[in-house]
Every structure is written in structure tokens, then in C-alpha cells.
């Protein structure tokens, strides 16, 4: 009987159960706390320090928070616990399974256990294991719910014991609110820590198998076959494509910013600025499709035409159907708005008095821009360009779709080329096992990528901040 009950609990959707438990305990604790406070006024022990509602909030807070922590813990580790218990009980035949086979088997068990009993009536052993898993996970769920209820009761008892007419409930509740707000702000830090830790530790595991120097300076990359892990071709590809992109974005973005801030009337500005911002809002996967639909064939045709010219040797250009030039050009267009809107801000921050001074000396507008405004705005413009470079290095979808997969070091922009981000995607899509160097190398590449963009971002943000303060 107990087993059946556990199994039916195993079927219950835990999220709703958790919400129900939290909401119910919260409401009950609130009502109890509030009526206790009303009791104090009725007993005539003098005026309450805080309104009865705050007593209610306080008891509810004390009851819900510990329960929520326990349920959150279940949410994070509950599945793993049930799995671990099941693995311990599996018959000895499973000892032959490799860890991955075992994982896949357990995944199947877990998926089957979500269905109705009739649906997994397959092999006898499988359904027995599934039933056992259901019982175990039901047990874990039940104990988590009971522990949460107990914790809520404990919290409530503690809160109730502190309630009194003179109890400063509001101050306590507000302290709680502040702590909660702080925790939310700390999540941003936790995210960074999570990124650094996950990249760092997976990279460590990678470098335990592959030497660091071989990774950083090797020129052969064949990660799919777990053979060579020399990442120089990827760094090179990333560099070339970012270079092409910046050759497009830097002049266009800068000139657009100068025109908009120095020449354009308010009407033109009001129209052109949002339209340029649209370029930043288009998803990168759409840019990638545009690159393979329009730009890459165009580049290929151009390269074939050049190859056909009499004074150029045959096959001088690779004219590949996915090529660095197409990816770089489209990426350049994508980052135009980053350059233009940031530079626009910096140029506008240059005080009007500098312009007036230059005009008074008889300088034309372009002379003012070139000789007065740009030198004054230079640090900010450089910061904008750095942010754009960091964007280009980390950009993924355009290069995945348009740049290709072949790691090679070549100066030919019409050749297929690959980048750090392309390799990360191609190594981690599909079924990935977390202990082969192939998968781990993606994290090492990610770590390099993260460090590179971090340096660019930190310098750029520093410069922007300093610069803003100077003229504000």
C-alpha cells in the first residue's frame, strides 16, 4: 500500500505541489500572525509598535523562507538523489554498462516514469526498474514536502514566540525585504562566478589531457576526431573575420555618427537614428541567413570572375561557397549601430564651447570635427570601437552559418575559415559527453573567448566611464 502511494506521489508535478505548499503555509502563517497581533490590541497591552499586517508578514516570511530553501534544494538535487539511490540498487548485470550507457538508460527510465503505467509495459526488467524509480522518486518528493512543512512549522513557531505588542515587526519585515533585494543583486555576481567557475574547471580538465602550450600555439585543429587541439587557426579565423567586420563598421559607423551629430537636422536625426538601431535589433541568425542567401553567393561569383581574368592564375582565390568575406561583411553591418550610437554619445558629450571656439577661428565644420572634436572624443571613440571588436569576436550565428568549418590559416578572404565560436557550437551540438577532450576543448575555447572579451570590455567600460565624468 505504501509503495502504491509513493508511486502515485512520484507522478505528481512537483512544481505545483511546491507552490501549493508555500502559498498555503504563507497564507496560514499570515492569518495567524495577524490575528495574534489583533489579540494584543484587544488585550489592551498598549499600542502596537507595528500594524497587525506587518506581524502577519513577519510570521509568513519566517515560515515560507526555510520551506522555500528546502524545496529549492529538492528542485536542484532531488532528481539526482533518486537517480543515485536507483543506481545503487540496480542488479549486478548493469555493472557492464559504461557510464554513458547507464546515463542513457536512466534517462529512458526517467522519461518512462512520467508516462502512465500502461505506456512502459515493455521489457520486464525495464518496467520493474521504472516502477522502482517511481517509488524512490515518490519517496524523495514526499520527504522533501514533509521537510518543507516541518521547516515552515519551525519558522512559524519561532516567529510566533517573538510576537508581542512592542515587537518591531515592520523593521524586521523591511530588513527581510532588503536582504532579498540584495540577494537578487548578488545573482548577477553569482552568474559571473558560475561562468568563470564552469569555464575554468572544465578547461582544467581539458588541460589535464592536452598541454596548454600545444593548445595555444599548435596549428593543427582536428577536435572532432579527438586528434589535434592546436587552436591557432581558430584564433586566426576569429581575427580575420573581426578585422573585415571592423573595416566595414568603423568607417561607416563613425561617419554616420559624425554626420548625425554635426550635420543632420533634428528631423533627419529623428528618422535615421531609430532606423540604424533596427540593425542592432535584427537577430543574428537572420543576418546569418542573409549572408548565405545573398552575400556569400555574390562573393563567390566575384571571386570566380577574378579567377577567370587572364593575368590572375587559375584558382588564385578559393571562391568557397561559405567564406570569411561574406561573414565579415555582414557582421560589419551588424555592428554599425554599436559603433555609431556609442560614438554619437561621445561626440555629443564634447562641450559646445569647443565647437564655438573653433568656428570663431574660422574653421569649417569638417575642420572642427577633424581637429577639435575628434581629438577630444578620441578615448570614447576608441572605447566604442573596442566594444564593437568584443561584439565581433563573440558573435556566433553569422559565422556558424556563413564562415564554414575548415580550420586553416590563409590570407584568402574567399576561403572557408573557422572561428572560436563556430568550433564551440559544432563541438557541443549533438550528444556531448562531458569527459572527452573533444567536448572539454569547447570550454577551453570558451574560456579564451571570455577572457578576450573581458579585457576589451573592461578597458572600454573604464574609458567610457572616465570620459563621461570628465565632461558631465
Q: Which of residues 212-251 bind other proteins (CB under 8 A)?
A: 251
Q: Are 163 and 169 in contact (CB under 8 A)?
A: yes
Q: Are 200 and 411 in contact (CB under 8 A)?
A: no
Q: Name the phi and psi angles at 221, rounded to 5.
A: -130, 110
Residue with cell 570620459: 467
Please say which residue, 239 or 289, places its beta carbon nearer to other proteins: 289
Question: CA 256, CA 275: separation in Å to the nearest integer?
Answer: 12
Please say which residue, 157 or 451, places its beta carbon nearer to other proteins: 451
Please say which residue, 87 or 219, places its beta carbon nearer to other proteins: 87
The nearest distance, CB 42 to other proteins, in angstroms, is 26
Site pattern 251..280 for other proteins (x: CB under 8 A) = xxxxxx-xxx-xx--------x--xx-xx-
Site pattern 184..213 for other proteins (x: CB under 8 A) = xxxxxx-xx-xx--xx--x-----------
Q: Which of 332, 322, 375 is nearest to 350 (CA)?
A: 375
Verify binding: residue 286, other proteins, rule CB under 8 A.
Answer: yes
Question: CA 429, CA 303: separation in Å to the nearest integer?
Answer: 32
Count Cβ atoms within 10 A of the Cβ of residue 310 and give its class: 0-12 exposed, 13-18 middle, 19 or more buried.
Answer: exposed
Residue with cell 557541443: 428
Site pattern 44..73 for other proteins (x: CB under 8 A) = ------------------------------
Please say which residue, 157 or 285, places its beta carbon nearer to other proteins: 285
Residue with cell 509513493: 6
Verify binding: residue 83, other proteins, rule CB under 8 A.
Answer: yes
Dihedral sign (CA 345, 350, 355, 358): negative
The nearest distance, CB 378 to other proteins, in angstroms, is 17
Verify binding: residue 281, other proteins, rule CB under 8 A.
Answer: yes
Q: Are 41 and 164 in contact (CB under 8 A)?
A: no
Between residue 363 and residue 422, which ones bind other proteins under the rule CB under 8 A? Answer: 364-367, 369-370, 387, 390-391, 393-397, 400-401, 421
Segment interacting with other proteins, rule: CB under 8 A, options 65-73, 170-178, 309-317, 377-385 = 170-178
Strands 221-222 and 228-229, sheet pairing: antiparallel
Verify binding: residue 177, other proteins, rule CB under 8 A.
Answer: yes
The nearest distance, CB 460 to other proteins, in angstroms, is 8
Q: Are 372 and 422 in contact (CB under 8 A)?
A: no
Verify binding: residue 143, other proteins, rule CB under 8 A.
Answer: no
Verify binding: residue 449, other proteins, rule CB under 8 A.
Answer: yes
3-state secondary structure of 235: helix
Please say which residue, 4 or 111, places its beta carbon nearer to other proteins: 111
Please say which residue, 41 or 114, places its beta carbon nearer to other proteins: 114
Q: Name the phi and psi angles at 223, rounded to 5.
A: -70, -30
Amino acid at each position: 500500500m505504501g509503495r502504491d502511494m509513493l508511486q502515485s506521489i512520484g507522478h505528481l508535478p512537483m512544481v505545483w505541489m511546491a507552490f501549493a505548499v508555500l502559498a498555503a503555509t504563507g497564507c496560514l502563517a499570515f492569518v495567524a500572525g495577524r490575528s495574534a497581533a489583533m489579540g494584543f490590541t484587544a488585550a489592551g497591552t498598549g499600542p502596537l509598535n507595528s500594524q497587525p499586517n506587518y506581524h502577519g508578514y513577519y510570521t509568513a516570511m519566517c515560515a515560507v523562507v526555510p520551506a522555500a530553501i528546502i524545496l529549492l534544494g529538492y528542485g536542484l538535487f532531488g532528481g539526482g538523489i533518486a537517480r543515485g539511490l536507483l543506481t545503487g540498487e540496480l542488479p549486478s548485470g548493469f555493472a557492464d554498462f559504461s557510464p554513458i550507457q547507464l546515463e542513457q538508460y536512466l534517462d529512458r527510465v526517467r522519461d518512462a516514469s512520467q508516462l502512465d503505467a500502461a505506456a512502459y509495459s515493455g521489457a520486464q526488467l525495464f518496467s520493474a526498474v521504472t516502477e522502482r524509480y517511481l517509488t524512490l522518486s515518490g519517496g524523495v518528493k514526499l520527504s522533501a514536502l514533509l521537510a518543507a512543512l516541518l521547516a515552515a512549522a519551525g519558522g512559524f513557531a519561532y516567529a510566533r514566540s517573538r510576537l508581542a505588542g512592542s515587537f518591531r515587526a515592520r523593521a524586521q519585515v523591511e530588513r527581510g525585504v532588503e536582504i532579498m533585494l540584495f540577494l537578487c543583486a548578488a545573482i548577477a555576481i553569482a552568474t559571473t562566478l558560475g561562468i568563470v567557475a564552469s569555464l575554468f574547471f572544465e578547461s582544467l580538465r581539458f588541460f589535464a589531457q592536452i598541454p596548454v602550450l600545444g593548445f595555444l600555439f599548435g596549428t593543427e585543429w582536428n577536435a572532432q576526431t579527438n586528434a589535434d587541439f592546436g587552436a591557432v587557426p581558430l584564433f586566426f579565423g576569429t581575427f580575420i573575420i573581426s578585422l573585415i567586420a571592423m573595416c566595414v563598421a568603423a568607417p561607416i559607423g563613425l561617419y554616420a555618427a559624425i554626420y548625425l551629430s554635426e550635420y543632420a537636422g533634428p528631423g533627419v536625426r529623428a528618422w535615421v537614428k531609430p532606423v540604424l538601431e533596427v540593425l542592432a535589433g535584427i537577430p543574428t541568425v537572420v543576418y546569418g541567413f542573409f549572408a548565405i542567401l545573398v552575400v556569400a553567393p555574390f562573393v563567390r561569383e566575384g571571386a570566380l570572375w577574378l579567377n577567370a581574368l587572364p593575368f590572375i592564375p587559375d584558382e588564385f582565390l578559393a571562391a568557397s561557397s561559405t567564406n570569411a568575406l561574406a561573414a565579415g561583411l555582414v557582421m560589419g553591418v551588424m555592428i554599425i549601430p554599436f559603433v555609431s550610437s556609442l560614438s554619437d554619445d561621445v561626440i555629443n558629450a564634447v562641450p559646445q564651447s569647443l565647437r564655438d571656439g573653433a568656428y570663431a577661428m574660422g574653421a569649417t565644420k569638417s575642420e572642427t570635427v577633424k581637429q577639435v572634436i575628434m581629438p577630444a572624443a578620441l578615448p570614447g571613440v576608441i572605447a566604442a570601437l573596442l566594444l564593437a571588436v568584443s561584439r565581433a569576436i563573440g558573435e556566433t550565428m553569422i559565422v556558424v552559418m556563413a564562415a564554414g568549418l575548415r580550420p586553416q590559416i590563409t590570407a584568402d578572404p574567399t576561403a572557408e575559415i573557422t572561428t572560436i565560436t563556430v568550433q564551440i557550437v559544432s563541438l557541443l551540438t549533438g550528444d556531448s559527453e562531458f569527459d572527452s577532450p573533444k567536448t572539454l576543448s569547447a570550454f577551453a575555447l570558451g574560456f579564451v573567448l571570455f577572457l578576450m572579451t573581458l579585457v576589451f570590455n573592461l578597458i572600454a567600460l573604464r574609458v567610457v566611464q572616465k570620459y563621461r565624468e570628465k565632461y558631465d
